Structure 1
Amino acid sequence: MQTINPTATVKSIPMPDFRGPQGQKCIVSIGWHVDGESGAIASDPRAVNHLTALSEGAYGVSAALPRILDMHRSLDIPGSFFFPGYVADLHPDAVEAIAAEGHEIAHHGYLHENCFFLDKEAQRDVFLKGIAALERITGKAPVGWSAPTWGVKPDTLELLCELGMIYDCSLMEYDMPYLLSTPAGSLIELPISMVLDDWQIFGASPFPGGGVNATAETAFQIWKEEFDGMRRFGGFFTTTFHPNLMGRPGRLNMLYRLFEYMKSFDDVWWATCEDVAQYSRSQVTANTNIMN
Structure 2
Amino acid sequence: MTDGSGERPLSVCITFDYDALSLWAGMLGSTNPTQISRGEFAAVAMPRILTYLRSHRIPATFATPGHTLLAYPDIAKAIAADGHEFAHHGWVHELVSLTDEAGEREVFERGFEAFEKVLGIRPTGYRAPGFDFSPRTVSLLQEFGFSYDSSFMGDDFNAYYLREGDQASPTQPYRFGGPVDLVELPASWALTDVPCFEFVWGALPGLRPPSAVEEIWRGDFDFAVERNPGGIYILTLHPQTIGRGHRWLMFERLVEHFANSDNVVFETLGAYAARWRSENPHDKWCATPSVHAPATS
TM range (shorter): 0.7 to 0.9
Q: Retained in 2: the 8 A contact 1:203–1:211? A: yes
- 1:164-183 to structure 2, matched below 5 A, reads 164-175=145-156, 176-182=158-164
Task: Confirm or deny: 8 A CA contact 1:75 1:260 kept in the other structure.
Answer: no
Which residue of structure 1 lines up, in the alignment, with residue 285 of structure 2? 290
Q: Which residue of 2 aligns with 1:199?
A: 194
User: Is 1:69 aligned with 2:50?
Assistant: yes
Corresponding residue number in structure 2 for 1:149: 130
Within 5 Å, give how 1:264-283 maps onto structure 2.
Answer: 264-283=260-279
RMSD over aligned Cα, in angstroms? 1.9
SS in 1 for 2:145: coil
Residue 96 of structure 2 corresponds to residue 115 of structure 1:
yes
Q: Which residue of 2 aligns with 1:88?
A: 69
CA contact (8 A) 1:135 1:142 kept: no
**Which residue is 2:110 aligned to?**
129
Residue 28 of structure 1 aligns with an amino acid whose one-letter code is: V
Equivalent pair of 1:120/1:156 in contact (CA under 8 Å): no
Q: Establish whether residue 38 from structure 1 lines up as the match of residue 22 from structure 2.
A: yes
Alignment match of 1:257 (pick from 248, 253, 256): 253
Q: Give 1:231's aligned amino acid.
A: V
Aligned to 2:216: 222
Contact 1:25 1:233 in 2 (8 A): no
* Percentage of pairs with the same residue: 33
Deviation at 1:111, TM superposition (A): 0.7
Structure (1 or 2) with the greater helix fraction: 1
Q: Using the TM superposition, give the Cα deviation of residue 288 of structure 1 relative to its aligned residue in structure 2, in angstroms.
A: 4.4
Q: Secondary structure at the match of 1:73?
A: helix
Alpha-carbon separation, structure 2, partners of 1:168 and 1:289: 20
Q: Secondary structure at the match of 1:78?
A: coil
2 CA distance for matches of 1:163 and 1:274? 16
Determine if the alignment matches structure 1 residue 247 to structure 2 residue 243: yes
Uncovered stretches (5+) of structure 2, i.e. residues with no partner: 1-5, 166-178, 288-297
Q: What is the total number of aligned residue pairs between the two structures?
A: 266
What amino acid does structure 2 have at the position aligned with 1:180?
L
Point out the more displaced range, 208-217 or 192-201. 208-217
1:143–1:166: 8 Å Cα contact kept in structure 2?
yes
Query: For residue 86 of structure 1, what is the amino acid of its counterpart?
Result: H
* Distance in 2 of aligned mates of 1:225 and 1:150: 23
Using the alignment, how far apart are the partners of 1:41 and 1:211 within structure 2? 20
**What is the letter of the counterpart of residue 284 of structure 1?**
N
TM norm structure 2: 0.84
- Shift of residue 218 of structure 1? 1.3
| Structure 2 CA distance for partners of 1:71 and 1:186, relative to 1, 3 Å | same
Q: 1:51 aligns with which of 23, 26, 33?
A: 33
Letter of the 2:149 partner, please give it: D
- Cα deviation, 1:79-120, whole Å, max 9, x if unaligned, reads 000111011111111110001000011111001011111222
Distance 1:88 1:220 in 2: 30
How far apart, in 1, do the equivalents of 2:72 and 2:13 lie? 24
Going from structure 1 to structure 2, the CA distance change for 1:56 and 1:282 (only over 3 Å counts) comes to same
Q: Answer yes or no: is the 8 Å Cα contact 1:82–1:106 preserved in 2.
A: yes
CA contact (8 A) 2:195 2:204 kept: no
Deviates more, 1:271-280 or 1:196-205: 196-205
